[in-house]
Amino acid sequence: MYKECQKESRAAEVFAALKMKKMTAAAAESCTGGLVSKKITDLAGVSEVFLGGVVSYANSVKTEVLGVSAEDLERLGAVSETVAAEMCLGVRRALCADVGVSTTGIAGPGGGSDEKPVGTVCFGVCVGENVKTFTKHFGKELSRAEIRERASEYALSIVLDALTSPGFFASGSSGGNDYENNQNK
């Protein structure tokens, strides 16, 4: 008899990286509705590194709890890299974590537009005040559940990259945008 090797989950990899670096994390989630936090908290012992999350589905929660600019929400909409950056910084500060991650997007089936179709999700990740943002288009043909699942996995992957990839926050790395550059647009 043999024991089948199983690949460690992305959440478990994030847990291990946070533990190794003696860092804490927090999540701000809109379209994923707490799925990122759920995946992390499914792991026993994670409370030593994961402080919590905020499901900021309503814009009022984004502004009042996370400190997202009402002007940015009005000008850019909730699904924007600028808002994703403000969300991850806001949850990191609110929960006194070292690392913040955020998701804001359109999981469908309705709510999309030509500019921001269903399946568009913006992400933010920060370590301290260093922030990087990303936009992924998962495709409108996917179900709401599939978009949320893929978005939660992607959010965990960017946290892992931020923790383990040297130069992650350097300009132009990892295909994302840094928040400072977005502010100048």
pLDDT digits (tens, 9 = 90+) for 111-147: 889 899 999 999 999 999 999 999 999 998 999 999 9
What is the identity of the amino acid at 144?
Answer: R
**Which is the CATH superfamily of the domain at 10-165+176-180?**
CinA-like (3.90.950.20)
Which residues fall within 8 angstroms of residue 32, CB to CB, at 6 or more apart? 103, 107, 148, 151, 152, 155
pLDDT of residue 112: 86
pTM equals: 0.89
CA-angle at 106, arms to 105 and 109, nearest 5° = 160
